[in-house]
Structure 1
């Protein structure tokens, strides 16, 4: 029996036993379990903690308000640890085997998102918030097969193209000089980082840039970047990019870059959005630039983001990164669907209701593309946002429609 079939068999058997017990007692279960896949241990544990906190915040609010249609909610977590296939599969099967779990979610679990097939097989509503290219590759060939699954994150195409556009616009506006049009691109060998770096390399080449350093490090903890940084210093580029998303790795890269900095714009993918990054880099983080698809738009034009951020800070006494907010919104999307459907066990109706979502969330207007099941991307939907860290605070500098500040020359470039 395949892993997928085993998961469906176990779930069906347990669900049947549970229903029989309920019929015998004449009672209906009033606690709906919401399953969360999260890296609670391992190198991405800081993100995993945010997943759990954001989800728990939304569940606590729903329960405090009396629940929905007589149901209250409980969060159950499957630790995907290092995100290896075995650990993800183990966590998925454990949660799918619980007949009281009626919705599952993650920020990211496997990075290749292979678990989407498990969800489709088990007819489990599922929402995730990362590696959207992999989601698209699975779903787009047959969207009807994957009515289960929806991505809060839009297409990663903008990650591939918009850094080049952003940098060239800074130059056109007189805020940055590009005397050589050379770029150094460093990546980690995982589906997220590598997909983005490959897209960036193509875009920079297409626009006439020269790639002076092109390095791929094994996925996992990296504490010493000095040999790669020595190559950067041998032929100084206008821009230095590292797409490794782990905050510890990204922090050590920046700290070691600043041991002997070059006059290069430094862009780091995703990691600076995690509070741990600033804790590890302290004042060295000043000036660093990163971007997000699905980042909170904390501006007067989107009060929802400030509302969610304030709730998170009040409960946990710390700021949320991307995923605390995202998982809070994910739970609320499920609760919206449940209000519409009424019965948490009617998974097909829940899936349909999720796909029909159209609402303002912290990252913009959420509406799903029926062809890919990704959130729609663009300034009128979920925009790509660029942030710069200043004195430990994250300042939104692009797009202008949502900006709360302007680009500042990075300290090592002055």
Structure 2
């Protein structure tokens, strides 16, 4: 073989080796650059669909943002949605089983899926990392007896104890400041027969009684759509209370309650649990919502002291053209919790390491400083962590009026009390 022929053959071998090496590297990169699915449990249909739509929008916003920045370690995120519909046990179980059965799903999240959170046991059995954001008392009841059994699961929402106690303290503080009058210390408490609303109303009743209040109306309506509150409101008007509370969290129900209360209002302070935070509530009530107060645990802490809330709220509005309520921003942040854990661990299939990384979270989020209590897996609550926040609506805008350290406005007398 001539030197020239040998050189040509060696050149061909070198080119072939280079091509094979490149193909090998490309294949390795392709194997590494997987699509990692995030499973979302959401009531996309049914009475809570306004919340479910927010879940989906918030989670998708975060996923689009992460993918646009190159993904995580070359991995692309994709949202897989399980519609829990009316949140019945059968529909929740069906959605959970379908998503857990997808081998590409490596993380799951929700705002609320079942209200009793029974699906936590399925997540633990499947070793599926899971973060949820509601009915934290039920989460605590499941996890606290044996936290090590539930390394899977963590709650964005802190203990509901503040929901049970802080409305009483808030109203009494307003009275002490001369902003409201409490001549009788009577309260009417109306609730819905579901785990969230009932847990809160029962806690409130205990606190009000302990502080010397008289409960003049104590009503529990069946869970689901309620369009006529007039018989209950007639009882309220028979013995005018200083304070009227409705803990039904569905915005449509809460809106119809307010509209019907204002047909013949009493000079009572009105507090509505959660529902006014959903944009749909203001759409249904318009100017009638002026003055309404509500509170949140884990809601956006919109204050100059927490610019993160404004930053994420702006992203949501720019993307969808509407303002987010509580869950759009929360689900956005929860996706980023998973992204942080995946960056740290590097392998989406290492669920145990992902769970551990999520549990070690300590960061500033839209709701405040997020750190988990290892004994309950709930977010830690308090002004230095996730505070309970009180808002008042005026002209469609929600103003943070408590706690003192974060407030951006002051309580104003509700129109029907003037």
TM-score, normalized by the shorter chain, greater than 0.5: yes
Give the match's secondary structure for 1:344: coil
Aligned equivalent of 1:109: 113
Distance 1:312 1:401 in 2: 26
Residues 1:361 and 2:361 are matched in the alignment: no
Aligned equivalent of 2:230: 226
Query: 2:137–2:160: 8 Å Cα contact kept in structure 1?
Result: yes
Residues 1:340 and 2:344 are matched in the alignment: yes
Candidates 192, 205, 210, aligned match of 1:206: 210
Rg: which structure is higher? 2
Query: 2:344–2:357: 8 Å Cα contact kept in structure 1?
Result: yes
Q: Structure 1 residue 300: deviation in Å?
A: 1.0
> What do residues 328-374 of structure 1 show as CA deviations (whole Å, max 9, x unaligned)?
00000000000000000000000000000000000000000000000
Distance 2:81 2:50 in 1: 15
Give the match's secondary structure for 2:31: coil
Aligned equivalent of 1:134: 138
Candidates 98, 103, 113, aligned match of 1:99: 103
Distance 1:145 1:173 in 2: 48
TM-score with structure 1 setting the length: 0.94
Residues 1:70 and 2:71 are matched in the alignment: no
Aligned-residue CA RMSD (Å):
1.2
Give the match's secondary structure for 1:103: strand
Candidates 48, 53, 59, aligned match of 1:49: 53
Residues 1:162 and 2:200 are matched in the alignment: no
Aligned equivalent of 1:372: 376
Residues 259-270 of structure 1: pairs in structure 2 closer than 5 A: 259-270=263-274
5+ residue gaps, structure 2, are 1-26
Candidates 381, 395, 400, aligned match of 2:399: 395
Aligned equivalent of 1:350: 354
Residues 1:173 and 2:177 are matched in the alignment: yes
> What do residues 120-178 of structure 1 show as CA deviations (whole Å, max 9, x unaligned)?
00000000000000000000000000000000000000000000000000000010000
> What do residues 74-127 of structure 1 show as CA deviations (whole Å, max 9, x unaligned)?
001000000000000000000000000000000000000000000000000000
Structure 1: 4+ residue segments shifted above 2 A: 26-29
5+ residue gaps, structure 1, are 1-22
Q: Structure 1 residue 295: deviation in Å?
A: 1.3
Give the match's secondary structure for 1:272: helix
Q: Structure 1 residue 28: deviation in Å?
A: 4.5
